[in-house]
Structure 1
Amino acid sequence: MSTSHTSVNSTRDQADETTLRFGVVGLGFGRCHAKVLSAMEGVELVAVADLHPEEQGIDLEPWAAKLGARGYRDGLRMLAEETLDAVVIAVPPKSRERLVTAAGERGVAIFLEKPFAADEADSAAMTEVLGRFPGLPVMVDFCLRHLPAVARLRELLDGPLGEGLLVNADLVLPRHDSPAWVWDPAVGNGVVNENTCHMLDTLCFLLGEPVSVQAAGGSYLGSPLEDGVGVVVGFASGATAVLTGGALGAEAMRTPATLSVYSRHGQARLTGRDHMFAGLEWAEAGAEAPVQETWQLPSRGDISAYALAHFAQSLKTGSAPSPGRAAGVRAVRLAVAIREALTSGAAVKV
């Protein structure tokens, strides 16, 4: 943690040293982060902020009070008036720079909701801002890699299954599920950048650095930007992933998530719903029967609970939270490359 952040901690009572003080800015999906944090051991949700909480259906002061927090209509004011260890910034990318700067100047660690940025220019600008605070812990909310099933698969690929060679993955949102800002090229820049990025990060977590992209698809339902894509991603290791993404799903199907990996010494398959993986089936090449492992999924609103727990634990131990800012930059670069490949019909280097 940065020097200024450490000095904030040092002013607290000895009895409170292990309790992290959190704030949340942006109560769209950020309301889910706030509820998770309000119930998390070793964490105190101190304050929440949103410029227009009524647009989220929230009566701010009583809603915040139920979580044991104070409510603000200005995130900058919240950061100025509260003593915080960490803040969740869950506003659209174009509204983040001043919040990130204010948090960085105060040594407040940042849990940044995806996408990291709208496009590569925005990504470069955010990287420059964060670069002013090199010791500041920053984590991007690519929460799928923290689900127990995905973490277990990573262990298996490092162990008996060997490295992944060929992967097929599927994550497609329901149609009409995304707010309008997602489709604005200057803000969310499309569902691939804003949501399919979850699976793009998961593929990189499992297979390493991407080097090339090929893509087909387009705007099948008249969306402002592509709403369905089929993508082939090549990795530096020689592995290949085939990904289906977009927003063509049916709400009643509850956003099924699947990922099959064929590895050096075997095979595995993740399955789940509501963006999350709950089941893992795997076998070494010579096995007589597969191993079945299952986990109880949290509610859809609690999808980031494992990621937030990792973030909090990292702050307490002084270790770097993962994924950090570099993973956010990479996911934006991949989304931009997918659109370029759609337009050109050719493979694009990442």
Structure 2
Amino acid sequence: GLPMFVEKPWAPDLETAHRLAAICRDHDAKVMVAFSFRFHPAITKLRTLMDGELGEGWLLNGEYIFNLNPPAGGWLWNPQSGNGIFNENSGHLFDAVCYLLGKPVSLTAEAINPLSTPSEHAAAVTVRFAGGAVAALTLGGVGTNAHRDFPRIDVITANGQARLGGREHMWERLTWATRADEAVHSIVQSPEALGNTRYTHAFNHFLDCVAQGTQPSVGIEDGITAVALAMAVHESARTGEKVGIGD
């Protein structure tokens, strides 16, 4: 099959996500899901540090909240299209956190809908990962236009601590220190520097994979995982129960 660069969300729901995955596998297609966040230089630097001196992640706090309140009849809320803000938008943070911590196994959520949108508009979420790490995330479209320093991540690791800072949907700042350090290390590197866009690093990875005949590092399973996490937020908020991921 033809190589495909697929916009997120991978699907509006889990049933559709698995059906699309089966079609792609039947055609042996090279598929990359457009989770551009994980290719920004600041987060790839953090991933390298966690593979080395910082060590594995233990505890993560993340936030992806800004002002997003499209009309009730818009595609974002349509169950057959965006299927809500957690699926259409929060997937970027879900993927970034999974990139750092690994495979999620369960989720618990509390959600709010203060603006009476067609589905929940914001949530506080706890995710447990297969390796033992835990993440606490706040998600939604209830922020202000004036605050533009989103998203953000603070992660405690086996050997230290790191903070990722964003600006309007991009990672651009990283600070970190090991437990032995007396000073904080830092880099500031915007994905949009030197003529690039916030999508350039992701596109370059995809084109390299096409040229080399390899599978992209973010593919079908990552798309399914993000949809599963979004659906679990709704389910846990509705039932008050912990929801397994991949059950």
With the length of structure 1 as denominator, give the TM-score of the two structures: 0.67
| Map 1:265-304 → 2, pairs under 5 A | 265-298=159-192, 302-304=197-199
Measure, in 1, the Cα distance between the counterparts of 2:234 and 2:175.
Answer: 33
> Which residues in structure 2 correspond to 1:87-98 (within 5 Å)?
none
**Who is 1:215 aligned against?**
109
Equivalent in the alignment of 1:231: 125
Q: Is 1:349 aligned with 2:247?
A: no
C-alpha displacement at 1:322, in angstroms? 1.8
CA distance in 2, matches of 1:187, 1:296: 31
Kept after mapping to 1: 8 A contact 2:41/2:190 = no
Q: Which aligned segments of 4 or more residues in structure 1 are displaced greater than 4 angstroms?
A: none
Matched, 1:314 2:206: no
Change (3 A) 1:311 1:334: same
How far does residue 296 in structure 1 lie from its aligned partner after superposition? Answer: 2.5
- For 1:222 and 1:184, the matched residues in 2 are separated by 15
> How far apart in 2 are the matches of 1:132 and 1:161?
40
In 1, Cα distance between the equivalents of 2:231 and 2:35? 18
Q: Give the partner amino acid of 2:112.
A: G
Stretches of structure 2 that go unaligned for 5 or more consecutive residues are none
Residue 206 in 1 paired to residue 206 in 2? no
Q: In 2 relative to 1, CA 124–214 (structure 1 residues): closer, same or farther, beyond 3 Å? A: same
Contact 1:265 1:285 in 2 (8 A): yes
Which structure has the bigger radius of gyration? 1
What is residue 124 of structure 1 aligned with on the other side?
18
Q: Among residues 185, 194, 206, which one is paired with 2:79 in the alignment?
A: 185
Q: Secondary structure at the match of 2:21?
A: helix
Q: Percent sequence identity over matched residues?
A: 38
Instruction: Confirm or deny: 8 A CA contact 1:169 1:243 kept in the other structure.
Output: yes
CA distance in 2, matches of 1:129, 1:308: 23
**CA–CA distance in structure 1, aligned partners of residues 19 and 66 of structure 2:** 29
Cα distance between partner residues in 2 of 1:276 and 1:180: 25
Q: Distance in 2 between matches of 1:334 and 1:168?
A: 16
- Cα displacement (A) at 1:173: 3.1
Q: Secondary structure at the match of 1:183?
A: coil
* Corresponding residue for residue 251 of structure 1: 145
Distance between the aligned counterparts of 2:139 and 2:58, measured in 1? 20
Question: Equivalent residue for 1:195?
Answer: 89
CA contact (8 A) 1:219 1:225 kept: yes
- 1: distance between equivalents of 2:70 and 2:52? 38
CA distance in 2, matches of 1:124, 1:255: 35
2:54 maps to amino acid: L
Equivalence map 1:147-186=2 (5 Å):
147-176=40-69, 180-186=74-80
Name the structure, 1 or 2, with higher relative contact order (CA <8 Å, separation 6+). 2
Aligned length: 242
How far apart, in 1, do the equivalents of 2:56 and 2:114 lie? Answer: 36
Q: What is the CA-CA distance between 1:218 and the residue it aligns to?
A: 2.2
Deviations 1:30-72 (A, max 9, x none): xxxxxxxxxxxxxxxxxxxxxxxxxxxxxxxxxxxxxxxxxxx
Q: Match of 2:89, SS?
A: helix
Q: Secondary structure at the match of 1:189?
A: coil
Counterpart among 133, 136, 154 of residue 27 in structure 2: 133
Q: Distance in 2 between matches of 1:177 and 1:249?
A: 13
- Kept after mapping to 2: 8 A contact 1:215/1:342: yes
Which structure has the highest helix share of the two? 1
Q: Deviations over 1:99-154 (max 9, x none)?
A: xxxxxxxx3210000000000111122122212212x2110001111011110000
* CA shift for structure 1 position 177: 5.2
What is the alpha-carbon distance in structure 2 between the residues aligned to residue 173 and residue 116 of structure 1?
A: 22
Contact 1:228-1:247 at 8 Å conserved across structures: yes
The 3-state SS of whatever aligns with 1:117 is coil
3-state SS, counterpart of residue 252 of structure 1: coil
SS of structure 2 residue aligned to 1:296? coil
Displacement after TM superposition at 1:255 (Å): 5.7
Distance in 2, matches of 1:297 and 1:128, equals: 33
Mark the CA change 1:216 to 1:303 in structure 2 (over 3 Å): closer, same or farther. Answer: same
